[in-house]
Structure 1
C-alpha cells in the first residue's frame, strides 16, 4: 500500500492537464499519481498515455460528477492517504510533506486542507476554500480569507494551523480508512458541497478536520462551472438543504430548515431585482428537487449529530446587514477557533 496517492478527477480537461499536471509530477515524489477520468470525449486519456506514462489512469464509465466520480475511482486506489486534487490546481515544492507529517503525528486528524491561493492573482486567497471553511447555523459556508464574494489578500494572517469545520474539495486530504467508513461522498449531490457534507459526517463520528498553511497550492477556480452558472446555483442551494436534513441536530431541525428556505427565497428575489432570472428559477428548481427527496434523507438520519456545528448564528446578517466582511473582524483574532 502506498503512503499517499494524488488523485486528479478529470472530465474533458486536456488543456488543464497540459498546464497543471507537470507541477504535480515535479513536486510529488512521495506519491503515486492517478488521473480518474469521467468518460472524457476529448483527448485527455491519450494525452496522459503519450506524455506521462507513469501516471495511472482510472477510466470511469460515465460523467459522474465529483461525488460518484471519486467514489468509483477510489475503489481502485490503495494508499493510506488520498489527496483529491482538482485538475486546475498548481502545487508547490514540498506541498505533501507537512500533510504527511500531520497525519503521522495526529491520529484523530482525518481530513486536512492546505492554504489555497488564487492562481490568477497569487497574493490573494482563492474562493473555493481559502484558509479553511466553516458554516453558520443555517448552513451558509464561509472561509478564513473569504466570506461570500469578499476575498482577502494573503498577508500571513492565517498562517496558523487550526481545526476547521470543512475542507475544500479543490485540494482535499483524507485517510483512506475514514473515507470508506463514511461511505465516501454523497452521490446524490453530484457536485458542490459534497465535501462539506462529508466533513460534517466525519465530525459527527469524532474525527478532526484541520488546516495546514505550510502546504500551499494555487487554484484557478470555476474551471468546470463558473460562479455565475445557474446550474451551480441549483446544486449549491439544493445540496445545502440536503446536507442540513442529514446532519443537523434533532433539536431545532425543522426551524433551521424552514428559516434557511426563507433566506433562499430572499436570495431568489434579490436575483430577480438584478435581472438574473435563470438564477431565481434555479433556486425554485432546487427547492422542488429537495421536496422530492428530503423524506428519504430524513429516514436515513444517523442517531448522533454534534450540537455545536456553527461558530456564528448568521453569516448573512453579519455580512449584508452589519457589513462585517473580513473573517478576523468577526472572530476577534480567532478567539472562537480551536488551535
Structure 2
C-alpha cells in the first residue's frame, strides 16, 4: 500500500483519530503533535491532558490548530485516554504517548488491515526506539508469538502496547477502557484479558510503525513498583488463585528490594476487597494461550542465556 508523503490519503480521511496521553511534558508533546500534524493521513488529533501544570494546554491551544485538547479534572493516568475516546467519532482510534509518534503511512495501513480483517479488534505496532531505530524488545517477542495465526494479518497476541496500538473505537468503549485504579504501568493487561475473554483478537503488525524517544523525565523506580502492584491486582481480578498468589509474591519481593515495602505493600493489600468484588476469571482457552506464550518466552530466554555464556 503506497502512501504519498505530501498529500492526505482520501481513502482513510475521517476514518481514524489519534489520542495522545500527556502530563507535564509540554516540550515532548509539542514535538509529537508537530509530527502527527504532518502525517499524510491527516487524522483527527486529541490530547488527553492529565491536569498538566506546566502550561501544556495553553501552549497547544496557542500554537497548534486542529488539535483538540481533552482536559482531565485530575491526573487519571492511563484512564485519561477514556475521556478522549469519548470524544472520538471515527471508526478507529490510534494511541501514542507524548514521547511517541506514528510513522507516515502507518495509520492508512492500519485502517486497510482493520477494514479487511473484521475479526481483529486491536493492532499492536512495531516500535522503533531512539535515533538508532532499535526494535523494542517487547515487539521482538510479539513478532515471535507461538500462537496459531489462523490467516490473520499478523501474529496473534495475548497483549499489546498501550502507547502504540490501534483499536476499533466501538471495541475500546465496549471493554470499558482503562481501569482508573491501575493508574499507569501494565494497565493494558486487564483490557487485553477482557478482550480475549470476549473472543476478540489482538494482532501484531510489523508494517505499522511507531517511533519512541523515551522521555528523560521518567521515574523508573516508581514505574517498576507500579508494574508489580498492577500485575498483582490484575491477577486477583482475572487469573486463577495460584497466579494471583505468585504475582503478589513477586510484587512483595520487588517492594522489599526497593525499600518501600511498609508503605506500598499495605496499600496493595488494602485494594484486595475491591479486586475480589470484581473478580472474573478468564476462560480456560485464554489461560492456555497465556501459558503457551509464557513457555515460548522461557525457551527463548534459555537459548539467549546459553548463547551469551
Question: 1:26 is matched with which residue: 35, 38, 46?
Answer: 38
Matched, 1:203 2:196: yes
SS of the residue aligned with 2:202? strand
8 Å CA contact 1:116–1:219 kept in 2: the answer is: yes
Gap runs ≥5 in structure 1: 134-142, 146-159, 272-278, 330-339
Equivalent position of 1:152 in the other structure: none
Q: CA deviation at 1:2?
A: 3.8
Q: CA deviation at 1:59?
A: 1.6
Equivalent position of 1:62 in the other structure: 74
* Greater mean deviation of Cα atoms: 98-107 or 297-306: 297-306
8 Å CA contact 1:237–1:286 kept in 2: the answer is: no
Equivalent position of 1:275 in the other structure: none
Q: CA deviation at 1:311?
A: 2.1
Matched, 1:50 2:62: yes
Matched, 1:260 2:241: no
SS of the residue aligned with 2:162? coil
SS of the residue aligned with 2:189? helix
* Greater mean deviation of Cα atoms: 88-97 or 201-210: 88-97
* Greater mean deviation of Cα atoms: 290-299 or 198-207: 290-299
1:213–1:284 distance in 2 versus 1, CA, 3 Å: farther
Equivalent position of 2:53 in the other structure: 41
Distance in 1, matches of 2:241 and 2:185, equals 23
1:303–1:91 distance in 2 versus 1, CA, 3 Å: closer
8 Å CA contact 1:90–1:119 kept in 2: the answer is: no
After superposition, residues 98-137 of structure 1 pair within 5 angstroms as 98-122=109-133, 124-126=134-136, 129-131=138-140, 133=142
Matched, 1:311 2:292: yes
8 Å CA contact 1:10–1:36 kept in 2: the answer is: yes
1:290–1:26 distance in 2 versus 1, CA, 3 Å: same
Q: Given the two structures, how large is their TM-score scaled by the length of structure 1? A: 0.75
Matched, 1:237 2:215: no
Equivalent position of 2:4 in the other structure: none
1:163–1:83 distance in 2 versus 1, CA, 3 Å: same
Question: 1:217 is matched with which residue: 210, 217, 229?
Answer: 210
Question: 1:191 is matched with which residue: 170, 173, 184?
Answer: 184
1:195–1:284 distance in 2 versus 1, CA, 3 Å: farther
Matched, 1:324 2:301: no
SS of the residue aligned with 1:168? coil
8 Å CA contact 1:164–1:210 kept in 2: the answer is: yes
Q: CA deviation at 1:113?
A: 1.1
8 Å CA contact 1:89–1:220 kept in 2: the answer is: yes
CA deviations on 1:179-198 (whole Å, 9 max, x unpaired) are 11111111110111111211
Number of residue pairs matched by the alignment: 285
8 Å CA contact 1:85–1:172 kept in 2: the answer is: yes
Q: CA RMSD in A?
A: 2.9
Q: Given the two structures, how large is their TM-score scaled by the length of structure 2? A: 0.81
* Structure number with higher helix proportion: 2
